[in-house]
Chains A and B, each alone.
Chain A
Amino acid sequence: MIEFTSINFRTWAKLGQRGAFFGVAVFDIAEQYPKLMIVTADLGFLSGLERFMNQHPQKFVNVGIAEQNMIGVSAGLADEGHIVFATTYATFITMRSCEQVRHYLGYMQSNVKIVGSGAGLVMGFSGNTHYTIEDLSMVRAIPNITILSPADATESVKIALAAANHNGPVYVRLTGELNNPMVYKEDYPFEIGKAVVLRPLGNVTVFATGSMVYNAIKAAEILEAKGILVRVVNIHTIKPIDEAAIMESTQISKLLVSVEEHSKIGGLGAVVAECITQFGVAVPLLRLGIDDAFKHCGNYKYNLEQNGLLPEQLASAIENRYIAL
């Protein structure tokens, strides 16, 4: 059994979200669930699955560079009783095989967990073909699929276990680099669909997901030094969204902010906007995320900076909007 200890958290952080998922969590899942099957499209080694392939060759399927086929094969395995994790880069698993995701996971509700790695801008100089900025928007519109986005490597482990235990299709969106900054330094309860309040008080509430949870905390610290108290809520489950957590925030704060390593169109910001419109509450919402553009490529930090997603930039954007209220 996996132990959720601070020492392990530090080790997992070094592996990043993907390394923690496929280098640590899957072994625990294989022990708990004999029907586990992992499917990939020529990204076994890159996904950190070498040890798993060697230890569990009968639980591993590599279909080659054929993502559409990967999702179909996964669905066939799932409907024969397997718990299937299928993985490749997030851009390919959600977009090259988008209709397959809709058909097998959405329509047929096959028990497949698709795990997209390298979501957002982390693919650096590989460029826009490898960035994943539209996936939440696309997958969210498909019925029946739970969408999870861990804040750090520890939450990646928790989400892997929760996805295995969840009966139904799931999309897991992995963000960030190796040496994923730690949001969680000690154990905490994780539940699909239940947001985690990381900083409880403030006139501003920041909803953040994935890699941006850490940056939101850093931005909150910067603003606190300037006398602006900021709440931070980790939205690790994009769908189904924790409506109660958003509703509560509209009663506590005068300004809501969403931060995500995803296009400003259709992702977390859109979810929050839809919720507050539905509630009929008039709280302003500042949506921060990736601009609606294919920009020049660069390293991860450069890419975040180009989209205003570094902590200082987030703090500045929030401060400007807050002062203008």
Chain B
Amino acid sequence: METNLKIKTQQLAIALRNRALKMALDSGSNGAHLGGGLSAIEIFATLYGAVMKYNSAKPDDKERDRLIVSKGHCVLAYYTALNSFGFLSDDELLLFEQNGSFLHGHATRDISKGIEFSGGSLGMGVPYAVGVAIAGKRARLNHHVYVIVGDGECNEGSVWEALMSASHFKLDNITLIIDDNKLQYDGESKDVLNVGSLASKLDAFGFKTQSVDGHNVEALYNAFAQKAIGKPNAIVANTVKGKGVSFMEYRKEWHHSRLTPEQFQLAMAEQPTLILKSDD
């Protein structure tokens, strides 16, 4: 990864996390999915900032890469990324969780806003991504399909049905990203349902699998760059739920919660400032 790109992507992640915290504050007593949003910040920053091919002026471009956000509750990372790259305006971002708004707590498909898929019910995105990838293969389109799931979401059987079919159809135009933050509603994933090693399961399901630090944009970038031929790709992103805010990290209570102005100030005080400089 070139140094400039790396610094830009790191800066983007900082900006997204700041904006995500502000979104959570603005959602007031409705609350927001903070834990799983903050764990996915670097994944979204890397995808939008350095990996994916898209054009916000032409959101329905046939050759665009498709991002299927199956883990629909990570909107703090998703909406802020869409905002940073011209799909959502600043004013639109303020509509988050307002009555009658199109910016739900789980993203709803709207191609004009760069949202490919309606998330919310877990285990829905991977089958859909397989369909999109088969369509891409048969039409000989040169796009890549990225699909983001949570580690808790991988409890759903429909995820594994879809993984089997991705492998069967040799969909090397698909990359599964697991935001492996190791917490779900009722506690640590290994205590709720211990699935063992996700990476070895993905290997066994026929994926080229890489495990990386999901908060290291360079590691993520390098993993995205190493795509297999003839088989689907998977990246297990080792992440921390609530990443970047000391009192949220590793705490299931912050899966969905309201953020008070005092807590917001404490959280912002911990954020790095955007002092990193790129050469340009």
> Is there contact, CB below 8 Å, between A79 and B132?
yes
> Is B162 a contact partner of A69 (Cβ separation < 8 A)?
yes
Q: Which of A64, A78, A99, A103 contacts B164 (CB 8 A)?
A: A64
Number of A-B pairs, beta carbon distance below 8 Å: 83
B126 CB within 8 Å of chain A:
yes
| B40 vs chain A, min Cβ distance (A) | 21
Residue in B109, B138, B165 whose beta carbon sits within 8 Å of that of A69 in the complex: B165
Which size class do B's interface residues fall under? 20 to 34
Q: Could you tell me the distance between the alpha carbons of A118 and B186 in the complex, rounded to whole angstroms?
A: 41
- Identify B130's interface contact among A58, A69, A82, A103, CB under 8 A: A69
The residue in chain A whose Cβ has the minimal distance to the Cβ of B159 is: A69
Query: Looking across the interface, which residue of chain B has its beta carbon closest to that of A78?
Result: B131
Known A-B contacts A69-B158, A99-B121; A63 and B165 likewise in contact (beta carbons under 8 Å): yes
- Of B130, B139, B168, the residue contacting A72 (CB under 8 A) is B130
| Bound CA span A70–B131, Å | 9
Q: A76 and B164: CB pair below 8 A?
A: no
A131 within 8 A of B: no
Q: Are B135 and A66 in contact (CB under 8 A)?
A: no
User: Which residues of B have CB within 8 Å of A75?
Assistant: 127-128, 131
Report chain B residues within 8 Å CB of A78: 131
In the complex, A100→B123 CA distance in Å? 10
> Are A108 and B118 touching (Cβ within 8 A)?
yes
**Known contacts A64-B168, A66-B164, A80-B135, A73 near B121 by CB under 8 Å:** no
Report B-chain residues with C-beta under 8 Å of the C-beta of A108: 109, 117-118
| Chain B residue at smallest Cβ distance from A76 | B131
- How far, in Å, is A53 (CB) from chain B's closest CB? 15
A73 with B131: CB separation less than 8 A: yes
A71 interfacial by beta-carbon distance below 8 Å: yes
> Are A80 and B132 within 8 A (Cβ)?
yes
Closest residue of chain A to B162 (Cβ to Cβ) is: A69
Contact B128 A73 (CB under 8 A): yes
Give the docked Cα–Cα distance between A74 and B165 (Å).
13
Residue of B with least CB distance to A74: B131
> Taking the complex as formed, is A132 at the interface, i.e. its CB lies under 8 A from any CB of chain B?
no
Contact of B127 among A76, A79, A82 (CB under 8 A): A76
B158-185 Cβ-contact flags toward A at 8 Å (1 or 0): 1001101100100000000000000000
Given contacts A80-B139, A82-B135, A99-B121, contact A104 B158 (CB under 8 A): no
Question: Is B212 among interface residues, defined by CB-CB distance under 8 A?
Answer: no
Residues of chain A lying within 8 A (CB to CB) of residue B129: 76
Q: Does B124 contact A (CB under 8 A)?
A: yes
CB contact list, A85-116 vs B, under 8 A:
99-100, 103-104, 107-108
Asked if A77 is at the interface of the complex by the 8 Å CB criterion, the answer is yes
Say yes or no: B164 contacts A77, CB within 8 Å.
no
B165 near A80 (CB under 8 angstroms)?
no
Out of A63, A74, A76, A103, which one reaches B133, CB within 8 Å? A76
With the chains together, A75 CA to B126 CA distance in Å? 11
**Chain B residues positioned under 8 Å from A64 (CB to CB):** 161, 164-165, 168
CA distance A70 to B162 in the complex (A): 9
Knowing A103-B121, A104-B128 are in contact, say whether A72-B162 is a contact too (CB < 8 A): yes
Asked if A197 is at the interface (CB within 8 A of a chain B CB), the reply is no
Does B157 make an interface contact (CB < 8 A)? Answer: yes
A237 interfacial by beta-carbon distance below 8 Å: no
What are the interface flags for B108-149 relative to A under an 8 Å C-beta threshold, 1 for contact and 0 otherwise? 010000001110010110111111111110110000000000
CB pair A107 B118 closer than 8 Å: yes
Complex-state Cα separation, A81 to B135, whole angstroms? 9
Question: Complex Cα distance A58/B158, Å?
Answer: 24
Complex-state Cα separation, A39 to B109, whole angstroms: 23
Contacts of B158 in A (CB 8 A): 68-69, 72, 100
| Residues from chain A with Cβ under 8 Å of B135 in the complex | 76-77, 80-82
- Separation in Å of the B45 CB from the closest CB of chain A? 26
* A76-B129, A100-B124 as given contacts; A69 in contact with B134, CB under 8 Å: no
Smallest Cβ-Cβ distance to A79: which chain B residue: B132
Residue A61 CB within 8 A of the other chain: yes
A residues less than 8 Å from B127 (CB atoms): 68-73, 75-76, 100
The answer to whether A80 and B131 touch across the interface, beta carbons within 8 angstroms, is yes
CB distance from B157 to the nearest CB of A (A): 7
Closest Cβ of chain B to A76, distance in Å, is 2
What residues of B have a CB within 8 angstroms of the CB of A74 in the complex? 131
Is the CB–CB distance between B118 and A72 below 8 Å?
A: no
The residues of B that contact A69 with a CB separation of less than 8 Å are: 127, 130, 158, 161-162, 164-165
Which B residues are in CB contact (< 8 Å) with A71?
127
| A68 contact set on B, CB distance < 8 A | 123, 127, 157-158, 161
* Chain A residues closer than 8 Å to B157, beta-carbon distance: 68
- CB pair A73–B164 under 8 Å, yes or no, is no
7 tightest A-B CB contacts, nearest first: A76-B131, A72-B127, A80-B135, A69-B161, A66-B161, A73-B131, A76-B132
A-B contact pairs, 26 of them (CB 8 A): A64-B165, A66-B161, A68-B123, A69-B161, A69-B162, A69-B164, A70-B127, A72-B126, A72-B128, A72-B131, A72-B158, A72-B162, A73-B162, A75-B128, A76-B128, A76-B129, A76-B131, A76-B134, A76-B135, A77-B132, A77-B134, A77-B135, A78-B131, A82-B135, A99-B121, A100-B158
Using A63-B165, A76-B135, A77-B132 as known contacts, list a sample of 18 further A-B pairs with CB atoms less than 8 Å apart, ordered by residue number in A: A64-B164, A68-B123, A68-B158, A68-B161, A69-B130, A72-B124, A72-B130, A73-B165, A74-B131, A76-B131, A79-B109, A79-B132, A80-B131, A80-B132, A80-B136, A103-B118, A104-B128, A108-B117
